[in-house]
Amino acid sequence: QSVLTQPPSVSGAPGQRVTISCTGSSSNIGAGYDVHWYQQLPGTAPKLLIYGNTNRPSGVPDRFSGSKSATSASLAITGLQADDEADYYCQSYDSSLSGSVFGGGTKLTVL
Amino acid sequence: QVQLVQSGAEVKKPGASVKVSCKALGYTFTRNYIHWVRQAPGQGLEWMGIISPSDGTTGNAQKFQVRFTMTRDTSTSVVFMELSSLRSEDTAVYYCARGGVLGELSWLDYWGQGTLVTVSS
């Protein structure tokens, strides 16, 4: 059971928009700690997608965007492409655990 | 360019220990924390701990307080993680990843290629 809750799976057709939620609590996202997002393609290491809730590293397309509100955060992907099919993870800090935590991950399927 | 290069796959028996290395290339080793994250087969990411290459201070996830140790060698820019009293549930890919100056609060911007540790009798 992950401290940060993500839907196990989401799906969308090419060109569509999908969102992935990351729900936390008052000891992590709700305490004001930043949320970061990663994309993990099959058989590869995770890749940083969004940092500090809304920021994209150099090279990440602007089709990917992040937001945060109260005790949750969201990753939005617009103009869905076949190679967006991957697992997506959120990450934050939890003060009651005194450490970083990941969400359980969401598998994105492009129909 | 920034790279984290990890040691190769390991096969260990239950009760044994494993030591995995992570060599940092392309940046000043002592400027960024290194995190360890593991991923069991078909499962999600699990944060294990963090080490400051600058002074060697560490922080472990509560689950790994006893069996997990991190060290570093500043002369070779290598970070090590050691997991002891291995059990089958420790079978996973272990990743090192570079964090920022905010310690456990930071994002992980570069990742090693992963090291598969298999625990089997």
Give pLDDT tens digits for A88-108: 999 999 999 999 999 999 999
Facing B45 at nearest CB: one of A34, A46, A57:
A46
- pLDDT (0 to 100) of residue A1: 80
DSSP conformation class of B78: E
Q: Return the SS3 of A66.
A: strand
**In sequence order, what DSSP letters do the residues of A8-62 get, joined into one string?**
SEEEE-TT--EEEEEE--TTTGGGT---EEEEE-TTS--EEEEBTTTBPPTT--T
* Beta carbons of B107 and A99 less than 8 Å apart: no
Report the residue of B1, B36, B43, B108 to disrupt the A interface, i.e. the one with the largest count of A CBs within 10 Å: B108
Q: Mark yes or no for CB contact B112/A38 under 8 Å.
A: no
Whole-angstrom Cα distance, residue B46 to residue B72? 21
Chain A residues closer than 8 Å to B61 by CB: 97, 99-100
**Measured between CB atoms, which of B50, B62, B111 is closest to A46?**
B111
Give the count of Cβ contacts less than 8 A between chain A and B.
Answer: 66
Percent share of chain B, pLDDT over 90: 90
Give the per-residue pLDDT at A64: 98
Rounded Cα distance, A96 and B18, in Å: 29
Question: Hey, which residues does B117 pair with through a beta bridge?
Answer: B10, B92
Partnered with residue B51 across adjacent β-strands are: B34, B58
Average pLDDT over residues A15-33: 97
pLDDT, tens only, B55-104: 999 999 999 888 999 999 999 999 999 999 999 999 999 999 999 877 77
Q: Determine which of A49, A89, A96, A100 to mutate to test the interface with B (most B C-beta atoms within 10 Å).
A: A100
Q: A56-68 pLDDT, tens per residue?
A: 999 999 999 999 9
Average pLDDT, chain A: 96
The answer, yes or no, to whether residue A74 has pLDDT greater than 90, is yes
Tokens representing B53 are 């290459």
Q: What is the pLDDT of residue A106?
A: 98
